[in-house]
Amino acid sequence: MAGAAATGLSDADFTRFCEYFYKRTGIHFTSAKRYFVDKRIDTCIRNSPYDTFGSWFAALRTSDQGPMLQELINQLTVNETYFLREDYQFDAMLTTVLPNVLAARGGISRIAGPVKILSLPCSTGEEPYSIALRLLEEWDQIDHVDVEIHGADIDSDVLAKAAHASYGERSVQRVPKAWLNKYFVAVGAGRYQVDEGIRSAVTLHKVNICDTAAMRSFRDFDIVFCRNVLIYFDELSSRRAAENLYGAMRPGGYLFLGHSESMSRISPIFTPTRLPEGLVYQRPTGAK
């Protein structure tokens, strides 16, 4: 059988599975990802009481939103990241975006409420903690403004890791030594845990970016980092994700995408803005 995997997944099974997963998450897998998907399904089946794809898939569809689906999502979402990744965008946040946000909100003396920053997907936490580090170390207004940092992801396993905030050397290799000493605790075997002060400054949420109802809880964010996730969606899911991000942002708020992603190909609802550090997207100020 062409394309058959250890799971015994036929091409028709693969198509049926991909349609199901797309409907539940908005994430679209093509046949180019066949090997990756087969391996992850194989892991899920081995972790379950079922021994064939057919029985496992039937149970999955019956339980639907239950633990089986969550395990599958955890297996099929990509979570590799590290501290201070693509940090030219953090440079942009510090030098251009935050001053603009403060000015748009009336200046430091008149700003009402905290500046809100969202990292979605936050994966295992490197991105929201990187934001916290850069703000504390490099933003001269941090003592004059309240800043809320939120991280969100669809994957409950990575969120648990983000909450624990313990990382290997590879993950923290770009963190300056002085910051490592100041904000991390060595916990043995080349691992470093973000200290309690920083961990308590990041609020974590489990949410599907394509779920409009769930995303209604996210409001008034001044800055959103949504990097390297829209590339996994088809056009329709990307449009919905863009709409949901728009709803989560304050008018005039800034959206950072991954360097290979372009909102222009997804939706016209954001305004592209060229900053010295690169392209960012804004929710128009004319819109409420």
Partner 1 sequence: MGLVRKQAPREPEEVLPEPPDTGTLLGQLDDPDPDCRREAALGLVEAAEAVPELLARVGTEKDPRVLESILTTLAARDTEEVAGGLAVHLASDEAVLRTAVAAALATMPRSVPALLPDLLAAPDHDVRVMTAMVLADLPHPEAHDWLVKMICEDPHPNVVTGAIDALLPSATAEDAQLLRDAVERFPDDPFLRFTVNTALPRLTGTA
Do the bridges between strand 249-257 and strand 221-226 make them parallel or antiparallel, or are there none, so unpaired?
parallel
Exposure string for 123-158, b = 16+ CB within 10 A, e = fewer: bbbbbbbbbbbbbbeebeebeebebbbbbbbbbebb
The three-state secondary structure class of 49 is coil
- The interface region with partner 1, picked from 13-21, 35-43, 46-54, 204-212 by CB under 8 A, is 204-212
Report CA torsion sign: 77, 78, 84, 87.
negative
Cβ distance to partner 1 smaller for residue 56 or 116: 116
Q: Which of 146, 169, 195, 220 binds partner 1 (CB under 8 A)?
A: 146
| Span from 9-17, 92-100, 153-161, 255-263 in contact with partner 1 (CB under 8 A) | 153-161
**Is 246 a residue that touches partner 1 (CB under 8 A)?**
yes
CB atoms within 10 A of CB 114: 13
Give 170 or 216: the residue with its C-beta nearer to partner 1. 216
CA 37 to chain centre: 20
Question: Which of 6, 160, 186, 231 touches partner 1 (CB under 8 A)?
Answer: 160
Among 49, 107, 188, 268, binds partner 1 (CB under 8 A): 268
Q: Using CA atoms in the order 272, 154, 4, 19, what is the torsion angle rounded to 10 degrees?
A: -70
Residues in contact with partner 1, shown as a per-residue x/- string from 27 to 66 under the rule CB under 8 A: ----------------------------------------
x-marked contacts with partner 1 along 162-191 as a string, rule CB under 8 A: xx----------------------------
Q: Which stretch binds partner 1 (CB under 8 A): 54-62, 74-82, 146-154, 274-282?
A: 146-154
CB of 198 to partner 1, least distance (A): 8
Q: Which residues of 177-216 are buried (b: 16+ CB within 10 A; e: fewer)?
A: eebbeebbeeeeeeebbbeeebbebbebeebbbbbeebbe
Among 59, 104, 142, 275, binds partner 1 (CB under 8 A): 142
- For position 148 contacting partner 1 by CB under 8 A, the verdict is yes
Do the beta carbons of residue 255 and residue 243 sit within 8 Å? no
Residue corresponding to tokens 């036929």: 10
Instruction: Calculate helix-pair angle for 11-25, 67-76, nearest 10 degrees.
Output: 100
Q: Where do contacts with partner 1 occur on this chain (CB under 8 A)? A: 114, 132, 135-136, 142-149, 152, 156, 159-160, 162-163, 197-207, 212-218, 234-236, 239-240, 243-244, 246-247, 267-269, 284, 287-288
